[in-house]
Amino acid sequence: MSATPIQLNSEVELLLAAAHLPTSDLRETDRLKMFGVRTHECLVGVVGIEHYGRVGLLRSLAVIEAQRNHRHGRVLVSYAESWASQQGVEMLYLLTTTAAGFFARLGYEETPRSEAPAVISGTSQFAGLCPSSSIFMSKVLASNNSFKGRRFWHAPKTMEVLQSISGLQPWKDHLGEVLWRSCLLVR
């Protein structure tokens, strides 16, 4: 079993509709790449990535009910993450109403919606298709990327401001260390 890139078509839309996932915006963006898993020529699972430079939105993960618990979801997410990483995506985001535990086991962390980058919060998924009760999650993809170890988008700016403060050097050093440590993810 392996995932492959697939074209968006009625077969994909039917699978997503059967899983009660939104399909109305699928054809509205040219940033969507779909992947699928087939068993005996039958499409049994799909996932998509909306690619926005260094960030992406993992979306539309669905596996037909008869094929659940056969690792198809893990294979799809792994393939999509690998593809996204090859495209330069460093951070993936997603919204879910039912699969937070599944995604947590794959390394995704619950993230406040207020921390969503503007390109993600501007997507149809984020802005309206997924209910506000959806859990927003994120995952750092590459080990050597600019998001590694950062909880806050403004951490570099904070350090730049601290470095520009003159006088009171011992306090500045201590405050800088405390702020830097608070911005590191503890794993």
- 9-62, pLDDT tens digit by residue? 999 999 999 999 888 888 888 899 999 999 988 999 999 999 999 999 999 999
The whole-model pTM stands at 0.74
Identify the residue whose tokens are 């399909």: 23
Q: What is the token pair recorded at 104?
A: 């947590």
Residue-wise pLDDT for 126-170, tens only, equals: 776 776 778 899 999 975 455 555 544 444 444 454 455 555 455
Rounded Cα–Cα distance for residues 60 and 6 (Å): 13
Closest by CA to 95, choosing from 65, 68, 120, is 120
Q: How many residues does the chain have?
A: 187
Q: Where are the domains of the chain?
A: 3-143, 149-187
In CATH, which of 3.30.70.20, 3.40.630.30, 3.10.290.10, 3.40.50.10860 is domain 3-143?
A: 3.40.630.30
The secondary structure of residue 127, as a DSSP letter, is: I
